[in-house]
Amino acid sequence: MSLLSPKEVKLLTNPLNIDNPITTQVLGICSALAVTVKLKPAFVLAISVIAVLTIANVVVSLLRNAIPNRIRIIVQLVVIASLVILVDQVLKAYVYDISKQLSVFVGLIITNCIIMGRLEAFALGNKPWPSFLDGLGNGAGYGVILLIVAFFRELFGSGTVWDYPVFENIGLYSIGYVNNGLMILPPMALIVVGIIIWIQRHYSRELIEK
Amino acid sequence: MEELLNIFTKSIFIDNMIFAYFLGMCSYLAVSKTVETSTGLGIAVIFVLGITVPVNYLIENFILKKGALDWLLGDAAASLDLSFLSFIMFIAVIASMVQLVEMIIEKVSPSLYAALGIFLPLIAVNCAILGGALFMQEREYSSIAEASVFGLGSGIGWFLAVVGIAAIREKLKYSNVPAPMRGLGITFIATGLMGIAFMSFMGIKL
């Protein structure tokens, strides 16, 4: 007897693969790419988004029968904005340096389209438990892409992984290797995501656009 | 005046909302299939950014900032700091301003209203608008003129980017792109290349 039914497992794993919020649904790119210069801030942002998305999904799902259809957007925005304020205060209290690095991007979680998108598409029509799983899955799918992009940008741009100097320790610099400064610039995040999409669609042919 | 001009060019070319901060990417990718629709959304964004940034500037400086309520409550409010409320205030202002702008345009110019159509309500959840307000807060502009110029400039920068990519995508339809790259993938790469081109403006000061 497994803990989750097959349908519930799908809710969790689909966003990690063929239904990824960034590469397939094209949601939430706004706040995602600017923070991926290093792994640490990307990780913190990913955790924040997972927290906000999961809780917002559950809250809206609990309220779904009480929210009048006409004003649902503003209700959702208020729920999200209050959660983001909480996250922002927690980050400021415990990881102040990273919260400074993330600057406006914590606030921008409010307008992160993933959260609005999932609330509209899922939480408004489903019970709290599936909504919780959906939030967790989509948040994780978003986080995975963020971490992949950040890993490559940090590795090639600064030669480190999680601030650990990999290239220096294996002696690449002494044989003349130079960090690729281009990877630190914002446009490279787009190109890295473009390549991830290319690779993913190469393996999942059904996603290819006509 | 010089300072204003400087902020204006800086917000259009150097701190471009899309190429430097990736704000408003969702609608940027969604509407940039044709030049016509992207022009409509671009104009709407200029409009809304130009209005909401100064309004949020007033709210920030006369209500939310530390000691900002002095004009109303005197010294009693000197230590009052409401800035933790800024997210919820800004998003409320944006949502209501968008609604207001929509109603005014519908009344004053039905033809513009028909042209902007569905794009106006969409703008409430466009990250570029909230991003404009948050950057305004973070950079602490010293006057409302600077804030308005920044808002307008950011809007124009966004407009240029979205119309540019739409033109490229119209051309790309006739190119032989590798199948897995078609659509989204190639748009990302093209945006990245445009971003690199825009980086050449870096360091320009008037």
Mutation site, B49, B189, B191, B194, interface A, largest A CB count within 10 A: B189
pTM of the entire predicted model:
0.84
Q: Which residues of A touch B23 (CB under 8 A)?
A: 30, 108
Asked if B153 and B10 touch (Cβ cutoff 8 Å), the reply is yes
Report the C-alpha gap between B4 and B1 in whole angstroms: 5
Contact A22, A195 (CB under 8 A): no
Domain ranges of chain A: 19-208
> In whole angstroms, how large is the CA radius of gyration of chain A?
19
- State the Cα–Cα distance between residues A30 and A190, nearest whole angstrom: 11
Question: CB B19: neighbour CB atoms within 10 A?
Answer: 26
Query: Which of B23, B92, B188 minimises the CB distance to A190?
Result: B188
Q: What single letter denotes the amino acid at residue A172?
A: L
Interface touch A32/B22, C-beta < 8 Å: yes
> For residue range B84-122, what is the model confidence (pLDDT) as tens digits?
888 888 888 888 888 887 888 788 878 777 766 666 776
B67 Ramachandran zone, left/alpha/beta (phi>0; psi -120 to 50): left
Question: Is residue A59 pLDDT above 90, yes or no?
Answer: yes
Return the DSSP state at A207.
G
Structure confidence by residue, pLDDT tens digits, B66-83: 777 777 777 766 777 777
- Round to whole Å and give the CA distance between A93 and A172: 38
Residue A148 has pLDDT above 60, yes or no: yes
The complex scores an ipTM of 0.82
